[in-house]
């Protein structure tokens, strides 16, 4: 595809989506460490300088993936528990693992979150991700408290943090 200068917000969103799709294709076959901005630009049929108009680093691109994937995971989780008023720990764990297994890219991204993204990302990207993740985790902790009424909100958040840490290296 040959790109012309993006003038409208819609065109800019199309460029961002093209960059994300190109990066996703690369991430399916390569590791985070091996993916470069030059490779992303080539895959998206952009020049590298044009890529910088939308993202300052590959870490920013991967934070966008993380944001998308965390939101999708939360929606999927809420959907799978939607018709359940309360459940046993076994039923909860079964559904939880099934949902996680449907989000393989998220599991892979969590593995690079601490090792690469947090170390090299801009403060702005990191703060934006943390705010979004806090909001999404708050919704998931509310779900946990609904399923397990005796579970204090703080313990639900601790459970989520431990799950995040435990998922590193799963895929």
Tokens linked to 80: 């799978």
> Cβ distance 6 to 14 under 8 Å?
yes
CATH T-level topology, domain 1-55: Arc Repressor Mutant, subunit A (1.10.10)
Query: Looking at the chain, which residues constitute the CATH 1.10.10.60 domain(s)?
Result: 1-55
Q: Does domain 58-171 have CATH number 3.40.190.10?
A: no
Tens-level pLDDT at each residue, the chain (171 residues): 555 666 788 888 888 999 999 999 999 999 999 999 999 999 999 888 889 989 988 999 998 888 999 999 999 999 999 999 888 999 999 999 999 999 988 888 888 877 777 777 788 888 888 899 999 999 999 999 999 999 999 999 999 988 888 877 665
Burial class, 79, CB count within 10 angstroms (exposed 0-12 / middle 13-18 / buried 19+) = exposed
In angstroms, the CA 18 to CA 4 distance is 13
Query: Looking at the chain, which residues constitute the CATH 1.10.357.10 domain(s)?
Result: 58-171
DSSP 3-54: -----SHHHHHHHHHHHHHHHHHHHHHS-GGG--HHHHHHHHT--HHHHTTT
């Amino acid at each position: 595809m040959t790109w012309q200068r993006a003038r409208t917000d819609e065109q800019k969103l199309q460029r961002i989506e093209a960059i994300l799709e190109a990066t996703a294709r690369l991430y399916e076959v390569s590791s985070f460490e091996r993916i470069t901005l030059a490779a992303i630009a080539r895959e998206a049929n952009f020049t590298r300088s044009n890529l910088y108009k939308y993202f300052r680093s590959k870490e920013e691109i991967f934070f966008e993936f993380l944001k998308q994937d965390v939101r999708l995971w939360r929606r999927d989780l809420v959907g799978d528990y939607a018709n359940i008023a309360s459940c046993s720990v076994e039923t909860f764990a079964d559904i939880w693992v099934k949902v996680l297994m449907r989000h393989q890219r998220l599991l892979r991204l969590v593995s690079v979150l601490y090792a690469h993204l947090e170390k090299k990302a801009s403060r702005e990207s990191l703060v934006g991700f943390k705010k979004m993740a806090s909001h999404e985790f708050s919704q998931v902790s509310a779900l946990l408290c609904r399923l397990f009424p005796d579970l204090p909100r703080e313990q639900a958040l601790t459970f989520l943090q431990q799950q995040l840490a435990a998922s590193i290296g799963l895929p």
